[in-house]
Amino acid sequence: MGKMRANGLRCGGGRFRLIAATAALIIAAAASGAAAQNPPLKPADVLALEMANDPQISSDGTRIAYVRVSPDIMKDQYFPAVWTADADGANARALTEPAEMAGEPRWSPDGGRLAFAAMREQGPVIVVRDMNSGAETLVGGLATPASDLAWSPDGSRIAYMMFAPEEPRVIGNLPSAPEGAAWKPGPVVIERGYYRADGMGIIPSGAKHLYVAPASGGESVRITKDDSGYPPFEGGAFAWTPDGSGLVVSLIRKSEREILQGAMYETGLYLFPADGGESRLLIDRPGPEVSPAVSPDGRHVAYVGYEDKGGQIYTNSKLSVLDLETGKTRILSKRLDRSVAEPAWSADGKQIYAIYADRGVTKLALFDLDGAMTPVAEGLGMAHTAYYAEPRFTVSTGGVVAMQWSSPYSTGNIARVDAPGAPIDLVTDLNVSLLAARSLGKVEEINYRSTKGKLAIQGWLVYPPDFDPAKKYPLILEIHGGPTTDYGARFDIEKQLMAAAGYVVFYPNVRGSTGYGEDFVNLINDDYPNLEFYDLMAGVDAVVARGFIDLERLYVTGGSGGGTLTAWLIANTGRFAAAAVLYPVVDWRSQALTSDIMPVVFNGFFHGTPWSQPGEYERRSLLKTVPKVDTPTMVMTGEADYRTPISESEQYYAALKYHGVESVFVRVPMENHGLRMFPSHFAAKIPIITGWFGAH
């Protein structure tokens, strides 16, 4: 409904060569019988996992900057640092210390300087570092940390986003604290309808705006104005024009009431002068227009989005090109029944790079202006998770691509591909030593048919490291959230830890998942949760038919939308020995009105409000199903979750107890959606789940 030196393990002169079809040879033995003597993963290993993200390749393709995120187990916090390496992975070095909380590295157009955001003694700054001399220039005077840095084409300026705080409203003449008094925080006056966000909590007074600053230091100019809409800046998407005179910005210009009533993603594209003048509307259809990228000749703007015609839960985001001279738009991905993201022009302006998910694989492709598509690479992935989640990539002038990359047995790394279809080179070697010293669970694709509509379903199995098909194993069915997202054969620490605890883990992409076409997603339109039950249980039967599952030890879990489906399953079958329902939605009425996605629920999952459609909200909510549950159930949610607030779990747990169901409630302090904010909480998540299952 997410710094320390390189570990030194190198091959072939400081470079790993990974052919896409070989699935991470560097630790392949860890998932085979040859490594059975190695110990399996343990929960504490989570505290050692690092990740590299936001890869930025220099224009000449010789160097890559990235953000390396490391956990500090003493402070129970993740710390990012900016690193650079040669394009082959050699000479990796940190440019910042963890305490600087640095990120957003961006090469100057000539590759001689690197800009990044950091916390220094004077507060948040943008650092411009000369990569030859090491000299630094600071862009200061920032009220809050800068994000989404972008150099002007001539290298003289840097555009960035920043939250501009405002004084909160005070109602009444309140007494002041005496000198030296330690009063508790005072009352907070909320004026906006959209005032909280998962991972942020209560949003302070103010708004995010776009700024431009001289790269040599000096005063910033705010580009977006107070009349730019509510919230003033949405999505963090903008792009310079090639002549440096303007910026194309993806922006919501709707009233607060319009946003709350459904226009939460109703962005349009606007052209702002780089000196801060008035903007000009380029395109604003019903629906989103995001991720603008201006062609090298300045004539076209590539973007992704769709025209929202209403009536369905999901519409593919299409790659389109707007001709600035004629005002006409062409859809380039019309023949691809998948959503695309992150467009980037080739240096010659003849093609556009973009990513998309296809049957559990994240792919990078080149789109010609006539719509023809050329595959570039596969296996892009986020760190430590089987989710798609739009991994980042950048492209050099010569077409060398730096990208976040994942496989079933490698995680958290940056890779490089030199040309379409060329072999993939691993640039970083994070987590390689750790995973090579562990016996990992083998990941295997499984395909089957649902018992409802004979729908083709794809999923994956993760086997215990010492798997013996002659033995019987407990099975965990793990269900993804979203629900409009997808899993794939990517390294997932949570599923590997379940397998390490002795379970066969099964995770499928049932109806409603992306990567299988728009029609497949919309099978859940106006009918969620419901028929996913047949997709999930048919998958369980397909795994059981293989002969190595203990029928007395079937378990089910999932988070967010997966938590909702877990609750749905145990209300409709008694086959599971125990369930773990994680941060679910059980009452759509209360969830919508207490979460940070009220407009999405009102206008995506439903076609109105709980008071305009009370019967529909009642039909699809799960509290009424609790009397049918007799499966021992654990409920677990973060206390700071604003996506599926803990009040949903409180209601579900109370209902389970009222009906005498064996149940426990695990509340995780300070955690938001997903339970991954703090390393100790992330490390505790799976042992709690498998501990509950092991007791049943």
User: Residues 532-557: pLDDT tens digits?
Assistant: 999 999 999 999 999 999 999 999 99
Cis peptide before 124 (omega within 30 of 0): no
3-state secondary structure of 322: strand
Whether the Cβ atoms of residue 142 and residue 126 lie closer than 8 Å to each other: yes
Q: Which helix (H) or strand (E) holds 685?
A: helix 679-694
* pLDDT tens by residue, 129-142: 999 999 999 999 99
Of all residues in the chain, the percent with pLDDT exceeding 70 is: 93
- Tokens 């209403």 correspond to what residue? 310
* DSSP 8-state secondary structure symbol assigned to residue 279: -
Asked if the model's pLDDT at residue 18 lies above 50, the reply is no
Cα–Cα separations (whole angstroms), residue 538 to 118, 168, 426, 450, 461: 50, 54, 38, 5, 14
Q: Of 331, 159, 121, nearest to 241 (Cα)? A: 159
pLDDT at site 640? 96
* DSSP 8-state secondary structure symbol assigned to residue 171: -
pLDDT at site 235? 52
Q: What is the dihedral of CA 210, 214, 220, 226, to 10 degrees?
A: -30
d(CA 342, CA 393): 8
1: pLDDT confidence band, cut at 50, 70 and 90?
Answer: low
- Give 91 or 225, the one with higher predicted confidence: 91
Q: What are the counts of helices (DSSP H) followed by strands (DSSP E) for the chain?
A: 11, 39
* Average pLDDT rounded to a whole number, residues 370-397: 95
pLDDT at site 229? 62
* pLDDT tens by residue, 508-529: 999 999 999 999 999 999 999 9
Asked if the model's pLDDT at residue 669 lies above 90, the reply is yes
Q: What is the dihedral of CA 250, 223, 394, 242, to 10 degrees?
A: 100
pLDDT at site 514? 97
* Tokens standing for residue 597: 């996605």
pLDDT at site 11? 30
Asked if the model's pLDDT at residue 24 lies above 80, the reply is no
* pLDDT tens by residue, 608-639: 999 999 999 999 999 999 999 999 999 999 99
Asked if the model's pLDDT at residue 25 lies above 80, the reply is no
pLDDT at site 253? 86
- Averaged confidence pLDDT in the chain: 92
pLDDT at site 30? 55
- Tokens 């998910």 correspond to what residue? 357
pLDDT at site 105? 98
d(CA 311, CA 594): 24
The amino acid that residue 665 corresponds to is F
3-state secondary structure of 680: helix
d(CA 562, CA 673): 13
* Tokens standing for residue 182: 């330690």
Asked if the model's pLDDT at residue 406 lies above 80, the reply is yes
Asked if the model's pLDDT at residue 95 lies above 50, the reply is yes
Whether the Cβ atoms of residue 696 and residue 690 lie closer than 8 Å to each other: no
- Show Cβ contacts of residue 266 under 8 Å, excluding neighbours closer than 6 positions: 252, 254, 258, 259, 284, 286, 287, 288, 308
pTM above 0.85, yes or no: yes
Whether the Cβ atoms of residue 641 and residue 667 lie closer than 8 Å to each other: no
d(CA 438, CA 433): 9
Cα–Cα separations (whole angstroms), residue 467 to 36, 165, 548, 586: 10, 56, 10, 36
* pLDDT tens by residue, 327-355: 999 999 999 999 999 999 999 999 999 99
3-state secondary structure of 433: helix
36: pLDDT confidence band, cut at 50, 70 and 90?
Answer: low
* Average pLDDT rounded to a whole number, residues 402-417: 97
Ordered by where they begin, the domains of the chain are: 443-581+673-694 (3.40.50.1820)
192: pLDDT confidence band, cut at 50, 70 and 90?
Answer: confident
Asked if the model's pLDDT at residue 3 lies above 90, the reply is no
* pLDDT tens by residue, 424-483: 999 999 999 999 999 999 999 999 999 999 999 999 999 999 999 999 999 999 999 999
3-state secondary structure of 578: strand
pLDDT at site 7? 27
d(CA 665, CA 302): 48
* Average pLDDT rounded to a whole number, residues 366-394: 95
* Average pLDDT rounded to a whole number, residues 239-262: 91
* Average pLDDT rounded to a whole number, residues 254-283: 90
Cis peptide before 231 (omega within 30 of 0): yes
* Tokens standing for residue 345: 């022009």
* Tokens standing for residue 227: 């009349």
